[in-house]
């Protein structure tokens, strides 16, 4: 690996940087303010920290540009082309509403105007049989109308049953390319070859919607870096945690919808390997939200059920990250029945918690942590920002007074409630999927994660905890460890009663070949791994379980094993199965990964016995205790302690509850609980 | 820590959210493992927890129709199966509308949960099973005249004892439905949900202790009651009435009046349906459980949605429904559409009555139908009997601040439409269109939501179809000077003909909206249309730019814009 490897995570407030020097194995981390108007500005100026720009060999970038364009509805003007009779599918949606009893609810608008929807004459049936051949004149008429409209910047094509047969969609694309040269066209078969026309419409529309923006972004970024003499070897992080080239991103931008948060999961995956931990659950707690995900037997979990907001599904394969609106900035409030609640409203970065002294006066979780002595007002962000402890206390007291309690009681209650919200997120990725928390270690990062790790271990029944190095920049850290990854899938739909092994084998081969070709086109040809799976369910059910298949051909020996494995997985996941029932195979999937060279993480020095640098009063559930404070930078391998303790570092604070054990491993990670020998 | 209120409130908050999350987990098991499309795509089910008295202590948000009647249901069952005769691992099944149920397709399964051998409460799964036997495939017999026509009735009986199947009950039930493999899968899913709930809630009770758990559940209901009372206290005192009509009952060609008088006094209210029509011969009658559910549904829509939904919410609201009326039917009359048609309409008139004191919160009439087009037959390719409950709803009514939503399920449910690609894969129809109906919404300062249309063409074997819907003649009502929405319709075009006709004209039925067992042959078409919602406020008060946008987007035709809103010219970009 030549030159510095730099991981960049562009967040809402800060852009995080991590650089790794393969020659010296030195890791450097830093932050720069995000420049929302021109996110490239924050990146380029942040890279100024590297003295010789030419030293940078490779940049991996996680960005929310696609997500924000959708959430803020700032994408392109899109036209939608579909089967005759079905142009209202994006508007009718699925008929359900966000929550019961909310009479004020307003149905989400799709990413297209109804006047920009066009129908073409064609019809394919579920079997793939063509009921009505595509009438090219109707496509030309749509193209003409699009041209006449003059405002359209991209086109999404979604024909019924295209996942069975892409022929009509491809023909539509060909005609559009001839009639509208230069117009970006997304077809549903390329974006999401899966059944359910609304979900596919929404995903395909989103792809077209962000295409022009991402394409412009990629071009400017390349140019800006080039102008500065920095490498143009820049890749973007996909929602599946893999990397893709800028050109590939411009072509399939929907792949980057959840780019940033994946970094933490990738880093977790490597840390699990490094620490020899089988199962990790991650908790990335920031100012306004908390992300949870799992790494099981060294592999992250994937989903295709994502909705970017209620009613706007984006169903491409992505790392399954559960996000809840709870973070350090979550506000305490008293509801109409006198119940103390925390969040989901947040003070955000502005006005921020009361202790930030930036205009906020209401009590946040961060204020509660300050009031309880868990965060030091003078050592926040490594002393770069001084917090106002009195303001934190005043804010918490205001709530306490209304409930007739002391400030400490309310601060503790706020933390309990905030923790319970996060336990809910942990439950949803563990217990709700049939996983036992007792088999896991909790990996907490983000600025606020290490503050809550110990309480969360207790509340969620997770025996071990890990606070990694650089918890505040952990996502960016993950980006220097990504692989190139392509997920391919195709709905086949056959039952175990009449399973066409030859066809299934053929589709599987085509999926693998296309994944390999897609990676090769981006230059990834080394260390290629292939994973195959099939989504199965009992005939009649509507949701599938993904069953891994360790072979490349379906035959008389291998196929029955797949059915058997499904029965077993159904039992494990749902607590029951239906032996002898007909099984339906829905989607075949193949993942192709080109493994990249990973940084070798340097060991920390051997410890000489942990010595506190100071002590202060910290309030725990059982009362206030004089608590030793440690400087993380001074801890070495093998250093150990028993709580109560506070471990401080520039972007985070770890709280160790009374009686809990902590140990520093060879790489400097803080291990808590069972992993520390409890 | 002492047992002082503030501390209790924190524990209460945590136990409440944990219980709701348990209910949600039960629902996810049910959704992911069930067979009927009405379950797994339609989400027509509810998962809840109750205490030993049958008070609902937590519920997850799936289908709200079923929750209001739950206390009645459990109490009724307890009369027949004393708690002392229950064992750990028992599961009771029940679907009898005349024992606290809502309608025959709604099956309720309960499983008691115990901690250290002590009964602590019940896990409950209620779900709409698509095929229930009776005179039509799919449960909605528009021409039923007795409960016996509507499907196989199950009084509360144990379908499992100590976690083992009771084979006699399974055999008896599965022999009386048309799609036993599907019904078996649906019940397994419901039992799977109960087992999950039982495990989780027992863990939760153990964590906090039985005494704390019981006390917290009581506190939680008191808390919800307190919140509900403070909401009602803010309603102006008075007597408010409203009426609507169900156009016919499928048997006799005459409309049935639904009438309510809501009395608000202090922090309580009485909702009295006296004055509603005597019960019908056909299936539009509501059970008492439906009258309760619809009332609570309406009240929940007009109060703070963050109030925890448990039995405490029900306490300040009393429901009166005279026996022998369409709002509280007497045995053995039919009532399947009482839960899908009369139910949202009763909820609607409660909202309508309260619009007189809460004009800013109210909504004009929504389509208020489940569509309920049901069909079945022998599948030409799958070699198996199939049955489908296809659900369609039209527009919401306008509100004081926004237009009604287009094409959304009636407020008594929260189901999803079946995607065309799933529909055609499962059933021998070709869907020819799936389209919003321009001009179907009532005009207003804020217009209603649009209804929509779906056209089906039978492909291959014969299909037996039935329907229970409404609003083919009675329009969605408006508020404060708005316009009524356009009616829905069910029309047929038989193979070889060019015209579209109703069931009355095509098949000699008495009602266009409620009918049983018509036969669709290869090439026959059926067009289902659901109505738009009513408008809110005078159309002339509508902002011009909203009218112009409606015209550009094709929600309102230029001609209608001229007629209803007086839009003279322009409207172009």
Q: Is the pLDDT of residue B4 over 50?
A: no
What is the reported pLDDT for A37?
78
B256 in Cβ contact with B245 (< 8 Å): yes
Residue A585 — pLDDT band, cuts 50, 70, 90? very high
Question: Euclidean distance between the first and final Cα of chain B, in Å?
Answer: 67
Q: Tell me, what's the pLDDT at A385?
A: 78
Assign 3-class secondary structure to A566-613. Answer: HHHHHHHHHCCCCCCCCEEEEEEEEEEEECCCCCCCCCCCECCCCCCC
Q: What is the DSSP letter of A675?
A: G
Per-residue confidence (pLDDT) for residue B396, from 0 to 100: 97
Q: Is the peptide bond before A492 cis (omega within 30 degrees of 0)?
A: no
Q: What is the pLDDT of residues A326-375, one digit of tens each?
A: 889 999 999 887 889 998 888 877 788 999 888 899 999 999 999 999 99
Contact A85 B17 (CB under 8 A): no
What tokens were used for B93? 């099944």
Could you give the C-alpha distances from B54 to B20, B58, B70, in angstroms and in order?
Answer: 17, 11, 8
State the nearest Cα–Cα gap between A4 and chain B, in angstroms.
46
pLDDT-based confidence at B7, cuts 50/70/90?
very low
User: What share of chain A has pLDDT > 70, as a percent?
Assistant: 99
pLDDT digits (tens, 9 = 90+) for A290-307: 999 999 998 898 888 888
Whether chain B has a CB inside 8 Å of the CB on A165: the answer is: no
pLDDT of res. B572: 47
Complex-level ipTM: 0.94
What's the token pair of residue B49? 């927890």
pLDDT value of residue A540? 87
How large is the angle between the packed helices B180-208 and B167-174, nearest 10 degrees? 140
Give the SS3 label for residue A288.
Answer: coil
Whether A172 contacts A157, CB under 8 Å:
yes
- Alpha-carbon dihedral A436, A437, A440, A445, rounded to 10 degrees: 140
What are the two backbone dihedrals, phi and then psi, of residue A99, each rounded to the nearest 5 degrees?
-150, 160
DSSP 8-state class, residue A502: H
Contact of A91 with chain B, judged by CB distance below 8 Å, is answered with: yes
Name the band, by pLDDT with cuts 50, 70 and 90, for residue B3. very low
The verdict on a CB contact (< 8 Å) between A340 and B305 is no
The kind and range of the H/E element at A136 are helix A136-149
- Among chain B residues, the shortest Cα distance to A128 is held by B425
A·B CB contacts under 8 A: 212
Average pLDDT score over residue span A172-185: 97
- A552 pLDDT tier (thresholds 50, 70, 90): confident
Cα B383 to Cα A538, A578, B38: the distances in Å are: 17, 20, 21
Selection from A604, A605, A616 nearest residue A655 by Cα: A616
CA-closest candidate to residue B47, choices B241, B264, B256, B201: B201
pLDDT greater at residue A326 or residue B113:
B113
How high is the pLDDT of residue B43? 76
The pTM of this model reads: 0.92
Residues B305, B313: Cα–Cα separation, whole Å: 12
CA distance to partner chain B, nearest, from residue A31 (Å) = 36
- What is the number of other CB atoms lying within 10 angstroms of the CB of residue A590? 26
- Kindly report the nearest CA distance between residue A199 and chain B, in angstroms: 9
Chain A CA closest to residue B366? A103
- Are A101 and B297 a contacting pair at CB < 8 A? yes
Helix and strand numbers (H, E) in chain B are 12, 19
A50-70 pLDDT tens trace: 888 888 988 999 988 888 889
Compute the CA torsion angle B342, B346, B349, B351 (nearest 10 deg): -130
A226 contacts chain B (CB < 8 A): no
Q: Which of B23, B31, B33, B550 should be substituted to probe chain A, the one whose Cβ sees the most A Cβ atoms within 10 Å? A: B33
Q: What percent of chain B has pLDDT over 90?
A: 83
pLDDT > 90 fraction of chain A, expressed in percent and rounded: 66
Closest CA to A76 of A152, A182, A181, A148: A152
User: Which residues of chain B neighbour A536 with C-beta distances below 8 Å?
Assistant: none
Question: Which pLDDT score is estimated for A563?
Answer: 96
Nearest CA in chain A to B391: A95
Least confident of A198-207, A254-263, B168-177, B542-551: A254-263
Name the residue in chain A with its Cα closest to that of B19: A424
Q: At what angle do helices B210-233 and B180-208 cross, to 10 degrees?
A: 100
Residue range A116-165, pLDDT digits in tens: 999 999 999 999 999 999 999 999 999 999 999 999 999 999 999 999 99
CA distances from B510 to B143, B282, B534 (A): 9, 11, 27
pLDDT of residue B569: 61
- Of A231-240, A342-351, B446-455, the range with the highest mean pLDDT is B446-455
Average pLDDT over all residues of chain A: 92
In chain B, residues with a C-beta closer than 8 Å to the C-beta of A131 are 430
Summarize pLDDT for B16-70 with one digit per residue, the tens: 988 998 999 999 999 999 998 778 777 788 899 999 998 999 998 777 666 777 7
Question: Quick one: which H or E segment has residue B353?
Answer: helix B342-354
Residue from A80, A88, A101, A152 to probe the interface with B (highest B Cβ count within 10 Å)? A101
Element spanning A632, H or E: none
- Provide the token pair at A176: 């559009």
Q: Is the pLDDT of residue B264 over 90?
A: yes
Share of chain B above pLDDT 70, in %: 97
Contact B238, B264 (CB under 8 A): yes
CA distance B104 to B283: 11
Distances (CA, A) of B501 to A15, B390, B498, B504, B525: 65, 21, 10, 8, 10
Least reliable range by pLDDT among B40-54, B135-149, B444-458: B40-54
- pLDDT tens sequence across B292-302: 999 999 999 99
CA of A545: which chain B residue's CA is closest? B32
The reported pLDDT for the residue numbered B136 is: 96
Q: Measured between CB atoms, does A341 come within 8 Å of chain B?
A: yes
* pLDDT, greater one: B66 or A392: A392
Of A113, A125, A541, the CB nearest to B40: A541
Q: What is the pLDDT of residues A602-659, one digit of tens each?
A: 889 999 999 999 999 999 998 999 999 999 999 999 999 999 999 999 888 999 999 9
- Which residues in chain B are closer than 8 Å to A455, comparing Cβ atoms? none
DSSP string over B79-109: HHS-GGG--TT-EEEE--GGGT-S-TTEEEE
CB neighbours of A64 closer than 8 A, spacing ≥ 6? A10, A11, A12, A259, A260
Return the structure tokens found at A41. Answer: 């500005």
Predicted local confidence at residue B2, as pLDDT: 37
Residue the block writes with tokens 């409404």: B470
Render pLDDT for A83-124 as a digit per residue (tens, 0 to 9): 999 999 999 999 988 888 889 999 999 999 999 999 999 999
């Amino acid at each position: 690996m030549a030159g510095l490897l730099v991981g960049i995570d562009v967040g809402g407030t800060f852009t995080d940087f991590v650089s790794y020097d393969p020659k010296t194995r030195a890791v450097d981390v830093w932050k720069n303010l995000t420049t929302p108007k021109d996110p490239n500005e924050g990146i380029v100026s942040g890279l100024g920290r590297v003295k010789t720009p030419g030293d940078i060999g490779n940049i991996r970038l996680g960005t929310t540009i696609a997500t924000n364009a959708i959430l803020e509805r700032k994408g392109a003007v899109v036209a939608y082309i579909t089967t005759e009779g079905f142009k209202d599918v994006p508007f009718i949606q699925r008929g359900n509403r966000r929550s019961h009893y909310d009479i004020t609810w307003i149905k989400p608008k799709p990413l297209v105007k109804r006047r920009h929807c066009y129908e073409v004459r064609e019809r394919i049936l579920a079997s793939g049989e063509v009921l009505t051949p595509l009438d090219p004149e109707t496509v030309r008429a749509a193209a003409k109308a699009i041209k006449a409209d003059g405002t359209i910047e991209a086109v999404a094509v979604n024909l019924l049953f295209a996942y069975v047969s892409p022929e009509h969609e491809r023909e539509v694309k060909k005609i559009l390319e001839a009639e509208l040269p230069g117009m970006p066209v997304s077809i549903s078969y390329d974006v999401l070859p899966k059944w359910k026309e609304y979900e596919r419409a929404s995903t395909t529309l989103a792809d077209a919607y962000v295409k022009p923006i991402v394409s412009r972004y990629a071009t400017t970024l390349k140019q800006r870096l080039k102008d500065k003499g920095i490498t143009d070897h820049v890749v973007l992080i996909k929602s599946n945690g893999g990397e893709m080239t800028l050109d590939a991103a411009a072509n399939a931008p929907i792949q980057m919808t959840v780019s940033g948060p994946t970094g933490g999961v990738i880093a977790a995956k490597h840390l699990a390997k490094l620490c020899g931990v089988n199962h990790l659950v991650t908790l990335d707690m920031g100012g306004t939200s908390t992300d949870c995900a799992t790494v099981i037997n060294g592999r992250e979990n994937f989903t295709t059920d994502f909705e970017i907001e209620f009613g706007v599904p984006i169903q491409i394969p992505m790392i399954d990250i559960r996000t809840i609106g709870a973070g350090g900035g979550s506000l305490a409030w008293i509801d109409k029945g006198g119940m103390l609640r925390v969040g989901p409203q947040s003070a955000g970065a502005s006005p921020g918690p009361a202790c930030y002294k930036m205009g906020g006066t209401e009590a946040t979780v961060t204020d509660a942590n300050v009031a309880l002595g868990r965060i030091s007002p003078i050592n926040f962000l490594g002393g770069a920002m001084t917090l106002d402890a009195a303001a934190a206390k005043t804010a918490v007291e205001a709530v306490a007074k209304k409930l007739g309690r002391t400030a400490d009681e309310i601060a503790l209650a706020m933390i309990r409630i905030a923790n319970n919200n996060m336990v809910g997120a942990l439950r949803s990725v563990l217990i709700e999927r049939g996983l036992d928390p007792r088999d896991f270690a909790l990996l907490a990062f983000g600025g606020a994660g290490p503050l809550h790790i110990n309480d969360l271990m207790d509340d969620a029944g997770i025996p071990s905890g890990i606070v990694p190095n650089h918890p505040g920049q952990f996502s960016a850290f993950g980006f220097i460890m990504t692989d190139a990854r392509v997920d391919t899938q195709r709905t086949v739909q056959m039952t175990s009663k009449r399973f066409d092994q030859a066809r299934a084998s053929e589709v599987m081969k085509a999926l693998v070949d296309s994944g390999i070709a897609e990676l090769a086109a981006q230059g990834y040809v080394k260390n290629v791994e292939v994973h195959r799976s099939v989504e199965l369910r009992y005939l009649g059910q509507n949701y599938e379980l993904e069953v891994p298949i360790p072979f490349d051909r379906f035959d008389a020996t291998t196929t029955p094993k797949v059915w058997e494995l499904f029965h077993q997985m159904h039992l494990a996941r749902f607590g029951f199965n239906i032996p002898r029932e007909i099984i339906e195979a829905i989607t075949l999937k193949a993942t192709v990964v080109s493994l990249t060279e990973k940084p070798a993480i340097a060991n920390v020095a051997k410890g000489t016995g942990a010595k506190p640098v100071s002590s202060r009063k910290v309030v725990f559930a059982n009362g206030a205790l004089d608590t030793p404070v440690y400087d993380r930078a001074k801890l070495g391998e093998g250093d150990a302690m028993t709580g109560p303790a506070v471990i401080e570092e520039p972007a985070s604070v770890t709280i160790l509850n009374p009686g809990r054990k902590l140990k520093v491993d060879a790489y400097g990670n803080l291990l808590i609980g069972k992993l520390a020998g409890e | 820590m002492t047992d002082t209120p503030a501390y209790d409130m924190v524990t209460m908050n945590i136990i409440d959210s944990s219980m709701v999350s348990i209910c949600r987990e039960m629902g996810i098991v049910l959704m992911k493992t069930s067979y009927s499309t009405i379950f797994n795509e339609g989400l027509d089910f509810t998962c809840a927890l109750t205490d030993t008295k049958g008070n609902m202590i937590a519920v997850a948000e799936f289908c709200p129709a079923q929750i209001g009647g739950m206390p009645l249901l459990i109490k009724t069952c307890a009369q027949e199966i004393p708690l002392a005769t229950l064992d750990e691992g028992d599961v009771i099944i029940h679907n009898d509308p005349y024992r606290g149920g809502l309608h025959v397709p709604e099956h309720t399964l309960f499983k008691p949960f115990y901690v250290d051998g002590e009964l602590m409460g019940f896990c409950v799964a209620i779900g709409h099973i698509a095929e229930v036997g009776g005179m039509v495939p799919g449960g909605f017999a528009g021409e039923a005249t007795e409960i016996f026509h509507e499907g196989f009735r199950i009084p509360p009986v144990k379908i499992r004892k100590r976690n083992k199947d009771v084979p006699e009950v399974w055999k008896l039930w599965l022999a009386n439905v048309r799609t036993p493999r599907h019904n078996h899968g649906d019940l397994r899913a419901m039992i799977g949900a109960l087992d999950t709930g039982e495990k989780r809630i027992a863990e939760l009770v153990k964590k906090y202790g039985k005494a704390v758990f019981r006390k917290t559940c009581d506190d939680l209901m008191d808390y919800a009651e307190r919140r509900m009372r403070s909401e009602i206290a803010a309603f102006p005192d008075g007597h408010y009435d409203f009426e609507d009509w169900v156009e016919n009952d499928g048997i006799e060609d005459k409309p049935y009046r639904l009438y309510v008088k809501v009395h608000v006094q202090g922090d309580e209210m009485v909702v009295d349906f006296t004055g509603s029509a005597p019960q019908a011969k056909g299936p539009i009658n509501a059970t008492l459980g439906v009258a309760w559910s619809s009332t609570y549904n309406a009240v929940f829509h007009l109060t703070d949605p963050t109030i925890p939904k448990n039995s405490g919410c029900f306490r300040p609201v009393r429901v009166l429904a005279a026996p022998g009326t369409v709002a509280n039917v007497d045995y053995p009359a039919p009532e399947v559409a009482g839960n899908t048609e009369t139910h949202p309409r009763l909820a609607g008139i409660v909202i309508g009555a309260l619009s007189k004191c809460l004009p800013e919160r109210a909504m004009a009439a929504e389509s208020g139908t489940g569509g309920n087009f049901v069909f079945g037959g022998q599948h030409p390719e799958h070699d198996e009997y199939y049955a489908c409950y296809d659900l369609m709803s039209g527009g919401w009514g306008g509100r004081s601040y926004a237009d009604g939503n287009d094409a959304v399920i009636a407020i008594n449910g929260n189901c999803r439409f079946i995607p065309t690609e799933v529909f055609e894969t499962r059933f021998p129809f070709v869907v020819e269109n799936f389209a919003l109906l321009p001009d179907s919404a009532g005009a207003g300062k804020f217009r209603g939501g649009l209804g929509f249309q779906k056209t089906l063409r039978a492909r291959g074997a014969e299909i037996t179809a039935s329907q229970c819907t409404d609003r083919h003649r009675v329009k969605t009502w408006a508020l404060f000077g708005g316009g009524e929405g356009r009616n829905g319709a069910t029309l047929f075009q038989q193979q070889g003909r060019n015209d579209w006709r109703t069931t009355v004209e095509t098949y000699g039925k008495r009602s266009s909206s409620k009918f049983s067992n018509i036969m669709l042959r290869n090439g026959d078409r059926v067009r289902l249309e659901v109505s738009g919602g009513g408008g809110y406020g005078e159309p002339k008060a509508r902002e011009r730019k909203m009218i112009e946008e409606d015209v550009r987007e094709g929600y309102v035709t230029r001609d209608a814009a001229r007629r209803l809103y007086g839009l003279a010219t322009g409207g172009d970009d």
